Structures are given as structure tokens and as C-alpha cells.
Amino acid sequence: MPGESFNSEFPPSRVVFAYEEEAEAQYNLGYRYHMGEGLTQDYGEAMKWYRKAAERGFALAEYNVGCMYARGEGVEPDPAAAVNWYHKAASQGNARAQFSLGLAHESGIGVRRDYAEAMRWYREATDGGDAAAPNNLGRMFEDGRGVPQDLAEAVYWFRRGAELGNAIAQFNLGRMYENGRGVARDYATAMKWYAKSADQGVAEAQFNCGTMHYVGRGVPPNLAEAYRCFKLAASRFPDAQADQRRSAATNRDLVAAQLASAKSVDTIGTARAESSDTGPSR
């Protein structure tokens, strides 16, 4: 049976637009089920609507279908299927899908490990504006993974990510400046990037800020700020980093004791000064 012709009052361009608009609506419904926004969270329903939109070529839906296969949300985990859907979205220029393909090729999950392919996708994602991809490029250059080790190139990519606001790239750039890796050692610049990362909740950056404030590296010594940073870090490290969490808590308590001691000394000194100024009562 031959296909029906387009209505002359509804030209093909309008039909395509309506088709895409419907796919977007399907994606949005999937998203609401996925996130529980205005609807009871239901991964199965989210996957159903994402797939409907994805099968119409809607890139965001293709990417989210990939994510759900990767995490096993609404379906059995299937890394290879995740990679397949990431490819579909990446081919349409979706930067998050391109980044996810980079991760897959770097880790060898769902696809054969291939560092050259990982770097290619990270570069594509970076060109598309993804802030995490340049950080991963920086790591690969720092570690010499798939490329000869090049610390200056690592700094370049960490800076790209840091300037895009990626918190991990900011931490890594601070680390490179603190240790003089690929760049001249500069404690003040290290502290600047650690602080930006710490403000975004990165526990390692909060810990390092505490250390820098405590010893006066890049900033004047400041026990109160050191205590604040160690306290934040102790509350942010996850169970998987229990040793770092204990170190942060230990440092927090040591600084708290020093602050209490300093306060006592100041109180005694103030009392003595006041006594000396007024003289003994007659």
C-alpha cells in the first residue's frame, strides 16, 4: 500500500517539526518519571518513554537510554547496550554522550579498552563544551595513558576544565601548582584553585585548603579557616574514603584544641592587661 501524500496545507517541514515536538514531549515525560518530578518516580516508565523518543532520533533521549542501561535503571544493566545508545547520541553532537564514550573506552566497560578512542571522544566532548572531558584528558597526559606523559599538556587540559567550572579539574590544577608539576610551583595560585573546588564540595580540596591555612602556604596562617575546612572535609568524604575522613576529623580536632588553647591564653592576657590598667582597688 503506497504511503499517503502530505496535505498541501501542512508541508513536510511542519510534519517533521511536529514529529520532533512529539519526541520531545515523550522525552520530557520520561524525564519526569526518571526524576520523580510531579510524578511518582518509576524507572520502568522513564525507560519506556525515553525509548519512544530515542527511537525517533531524539539525542537527549538516546543519551538517557544509554545511562539507564549503564546504571541498570528500569532494565538489567547492559554496558554494551549503553555504549550503543551513547554512539547514537554522540553522532548527533551530544557532548555528554561523547564524554561517556570516552569513559567507556578508557575503562573498557561495554567496549574494548582503547585509550586512543577514549582521547578522541574526550576531545570531541571538550569541543562540544563538556567541562569534565578536559579534566580526563589532563589525567591521561599526567599518567601517560595512551600518550607519552606530558605534565605541561596535563596542566593545559586541567586549566581548560577548571575555567569551565569543573570542580575536579580545579582541584587537579591546584595540585599541579602546589607540587610544581608541569608548571612553576605557586602556592597562592594553588590555593585559589583549591578554594574554587572546595566551594563546590570536593572533600580533597577542602582538606588541602585546611592544610594550606594551617601551615600558611599561599595564604597567611589562619587556624579558624583551617578548622572550618577540615570540618567540611570530614563531613564530605564518603565511606569509600574512610581513611581520608578520619584524617580530616583528626586534623579538625587538633586545630579545635589549638583554637581553644589560644582563646584561653587571649582571655588570660586580656584579664591581666585590664588588671594592670586599672590597678588594684583601694
Q: Are 86 and 100 in contact (CB under 8 A)?
A: yes
Can you give the pLDDT at residue 276? 42
- pLDDT of 150 > 70? The answer is yes
Integer Cα distance of 65 and 56 in angstroms? 13
pLDDT exceeds 50 at position 243: yes
Provide the terminal-to-terminal Cα distance of the chain, rounded to the nearest Å.
117
Q: Give me the numbers of helices (H) and strands (E) for the chain, helices first please.
A: 13, 0
CA 204, 169, 191, 141 torsion-angle sign? positive
**Binning pLDDT at 50, 70 and 90, where does residue 96 land?**
very high
For residue 75, the model assigns a pLDDT of: 96
> What per-residue string of b and e applies to 90-120 under the rule 16 or more CB within 10 Å gives b?
beeebbbbbbbbbbbbbeeebbeeeeebbbb
Q: Which three cell numbers mark 16?
A: 517533521
Q: What is the pLDDT of residue 14?
A: 33
Which pLDDT score, from 0 to 100, does residue 238 have? 95
What pLDDT does residue 263 have? 77
Q: Supply the DSSP string of 132-155, one letter for each residue.
A: SHHHHHHHHHHHTSSS---HHHHH
Rounded to an integer, what distance in angstroms lies between the CA atom of residue 148 and that of residue 125? Answer: 21
Cβ-based neighbours of 59, under 8 Å, separated by 6 or more:
88, 89, 92, 93, 94, 97
Contact of 77 with 89, CB cutoff 8 Å: no
**What would the pLDDT profile of 35-50 be if each residue is shown by its tens digit?**
999 999 999 999 999 9
- Which residue's entry shows cell 608541569? 182
Q: For residue range 245-271, what is the model confidence (pLDDT) as tens digits? A: 999 999 999 999 999 998 765 543 443
Which whole number is the average pLDDT over 219-231?
A: 97
pTM of the model: 0.83
Q: How many CB atoms lie within 10 A of CB 9?
A: 6
- For the chain, the average pLDDT equals 89
Distances (CA, A) of 118 to 122, 127, 137: 6, 14, 9
Give every CB contact of residue 264 below 8 A, 6+ residues apart in sequence: none
What pLDDT score does 268 carry?
Answer: 36
pLDDT of residue 262: 83
Give yes or no for residue 206 having a pLDDT over 50. Answer: yes
